[in-house]
Amino acid sequence: MKKVYLDNNSTTPLLPEVRDAMLPYLAEYFGNPSCLHEWGDAPREAIETARNQVASLIGAGPEEIIFTSSGTESNNFAVKGLAMAQQKKGKHIVVSAIEHFSVLNSAKTLEKMGFSYTTVPVDKVGLVDPEKVRKAIREDTTVVSIMHANGEVGTLQPIKEIAAITKGKGIVFHTDAVATAGTIPVNVKELGVDALSLAGNMFYGPKGVGALWLKRGTRIMPLLDGGVQEGGRRAGTENVPGIVGLGKAAELGKAQMTVRNEQMVKLRDRLIRELPARIDHVIVTGHAQNRLPGHASFCVEFVEGESMLMLLSSKGIAVTSGSACTSRSLLASHVLLAMGLPHEIAQGSLLFGLGINNTADDVDYVLEVLPPIVERLRQMSPLYSKFMKQGKGG
Amino acid sequence: MPIYSQKVMEHFMNPRNVGEIENADGIGEEGNPVCGDMMTFYIKVKNGRLEDVKYKTFGCGAAIAVSSMVSEMAKGKTLKEALKITPKLVADELEGLPKNKFHCSNLGAQALQKAIEDYQKKQAGGKV
Ligand code: FES
């Protein structure tokens, strides 16, 4: 059976070049980079090479990169570590309603510790209005964390505009760039942010490794106490193979970005154009153009996401959904609800994450397979029959 | 390991008795309070037995398999027997459901029960 992986928002495959770069560090170069003998040399150098590669991907200085275990850790580290380092100045932070749970739940944890936070809403397409950020900022605000793009709706946020607002107010502006770094051009100076999270598995690197970029001179409180790895900011023996892989993925991502995206944007736009043309009552979620290059997201009315996902999977197609039924917590996606979509519409959520391995054939296959699946589920949907009976005429 | 049993997958891929019954003797609609999904059961009763059972379902894979299974279990049974179909029995017949999907089997058992109650109410109403 044809296999089509369209879930690159969840994770991307590991590039063979990246894997090859990692392998020696799972074999002969097993040494601990902190050791002063010969065994420590190669791993230590490899980490510094990776640091340069990651720094160069985002236009930063290598000494500003802190390696972590994931995007989630980077976000936790940023939100909690930055807020705690500045608690003498103030105890208020600002986040958006569509942040990843690693940011939202960090804010909640801080709240339990005596901090407070304000959640900035988004509009119908998932955009944060910088003016609303301005209004949310108080005298005692120390950290603002707004993501660069959300993996569920793909909309790119006006980070530069928000940075212009936080600037000069003694506020540290962090952006979760897990969905964008390595995928689209991300330059910390152009964005004007003070801290930025990224993760290897979102751009063809390994899982279990991420980084936090922290502008020189920004104070942060470590989450992990221990040795002096990463300049004392992140203790723990380094995940050397992972870091090497992250570095290599960053290097390749930077070099190939334009070519990769040209292809992906074409496929994406075809999906966004054709799916609603072939299936009635399909809503495109997020911004139509101002979105991640491989990202196409929809809500299909009158059907539920998990059942679509399972039928697509039976045809060899891997996608994901933000429906309540697909989530382990059985809660509808907070992102879709924040965009004002009603529960029953959010139930029909379907996310396509195109990657560098996808072809026009893959998109054709989806366009061929999905309409009958939706039709089949609608035939058994009580919401659809109600709609056909009442809704249609008036 | 796949999250669903083979039995669930089989019913999900080939759901039995899907549809509506015109002039049904009883209709039962149940919304899932947890995730907001919905199931509607239609029954036809003859000589105290469920002669036909059909349904429509808006929900996850488990919900679809549950409704299919409930319809199979209920068909041909007396009303009394059918009222004894519990969510647990349905889940067992499906060779188990993931923990967080157990509420989907409530949906099926309750929608069927409501359809039977609807029928009984109509019957009682008719006699008055
Ligand atoms: S119907 Fe929503 S989880 Fe089963």
Structure tokens at A81: 């570590």
- In this complex, do A382 and B64 lie within 8 Å of one another by their Cβ atoms? no
Q: Closest residue (by CA) to atom 1 of ligand 1?
A: B59
Q: A-chain residues within 8 Å CB-CB of B40? A: 382
Q: Closest residue (by CA) to atom 2 of ligand 1?
A: A325
Q: Which of A219, A234, A253 is the last residue of a domain?
A: A253
Looking at residue B73, which CATH number applies to its domain? 3.90.1010.10
Angle (CA) B10 B13 B18, round 5°: 105
Which of B18, B20, B37, B57 is most worth mutating to test chain A (most A CB atoms within 10 A of its CB)? B37
Would B114 be classed as within a structural domain?
A: yes
Answer yes or no: do A204 and A234 share one domain: yes
Count how many domains chain B has.
1
Annotated catalytic residue, options B45, B104, B111, B112: B104
CB atoms within 10 A of CB A32: 14
Looking at residue A291, which CATH number applies to its domain? 3.90.1150.10
Quick check: helix, strand or coil at residue B38?
A: strand
Answer yes or no: do A35 and A160 share one domain: yes
Domain encompassing residue A266? 4-10+257-391
- In this complex, do A332 and B57 lie within 8 Å of one another by their Cβ atoms? no
Q: ipTM higher than 0.90?
A: yes
Would B127 be classed as within a structural domain?
A: no
Domain encompassing residue B114? 6-120
Q: B-chain residues within 8 Å CB-CB of A306? A: 60-61
Q: A-chain residues within 8 Å CB-CB of B70? A: none
d(CA A52, CA A63): 9
Per-residue pLDDT of chain B (128 residues; tens, 9 = 90+): 788 999 999 999 999 999 999 999 999 999 875 677 899 999 999 999 999 999 999 999 999 999 999 999 999 999 999 999 999 999 999 999 998 888 888 899 999 999 999 999 999 886 54
Question: Contact, A158 vs A128, CB < 8 A?
Answer: yes
Q: Counting Cβ atoms within 10 Å, is residue A346 exposed (0-12), middle (13-18) or buried (19+)?
A: buried
Nearest CA in chain B to A325: B60
Active site residue B35: yes
Task: Please give the interface size between A and B, counted as residue pairs whose CB atoms are below 8 Å apart.
Answer: 67
Answer yes or no: do A110 and A236 share one domain: yes
B46 pairs with which residues across the strands?
A: B49
> Of B35, B38, B61, which is closest to A330 when you measure between CB atoms?
B35
Answer yes or no: do A313 and A171 share one domain: no
d(CA B92, CA A206): 40
- In this complex, do B12 and A325 lie within 8 Å of one another by their Cβ atoms? no
- Cα A376 to Cα A195, A272, A303, A369, A373, distances in angstroms: 47, 22, 10, 11, 5
Angle (CA) B62 B64 B67, round 5°: 105
> Of B12, B58, B60, which is closest to A383 when you measure between CB atoms?
B58
Count how many domains chain A has.
2
Answer yes or no: do A240 and A266 share one domain: no
Answer yes or no: do A249 and A272 share one domain: no
Answer yes or no: do A230 and A265 share one domain: no
> Of A306, A329, A382, which is closest to B60 when you measure between CB atoms?
A306
Tokens 């997020």 locate to: A286
> Of B56, B100, B103, which is closest to A385 when you measure between CB atoms?
B56
The answer to whether the CB of B35 is under 6 A from ligand 1 is: yes
Q: Which of A253, A288, A311 is the last residue of a domain?
A: A253
| Residue positions of A annotated with a catalytic role | 325
How much is the pLDDT for B127? 55
Answer yes or no: do A42 and A122 share one domain: yes
How much is the pLDDT for A394? 42
Per-residue pLDDT of chain A (394 residues; tens, 9 = 90+): 899 999 999 999 999 999 999 999 999 999 999 999 999 999 999 999 999 999 999 999 999 999 999 999 999 999 999 999 999 999 999 999 999 999 999 999 999 999 999 999 999 999 999 999 999 999 999 999 999 999 999 999 999 999 999 998 999 999 999 999 999 999 999 999 999 999 999 999 999 999 999 999 999 999 999 999 999 999 999 999 999 999 999 999 999 999 999 999 999 999 999 999 999 999 999 998 899 999 999 999 999 999 999 999 999 999 999 998 888 788 889 999 999 999 889 999 999 999 999 999 999 999 999 999 999 999 999 999 989 988 654 4
How far, in Å, is the centroid of ligand 1 from the Cα of B5? Answer: 16
Would B125 be classed as within a structural domain?
A: no
The answer to whether the CB of B37 is under 6 A from ligand 1 is: yes
Angle (CA) A320 A19 A176, round 5°: 50
How far, in Å, is the centroid of ligand 1 from the Cα of A328? Answer: 11
Would B128 be classed as within a structural domain?
A: no
The answer to whether the CB of B85 is under 6 A from ligand 1 is: no
Answer yes or no: do A119 and A41 share one domain: yes
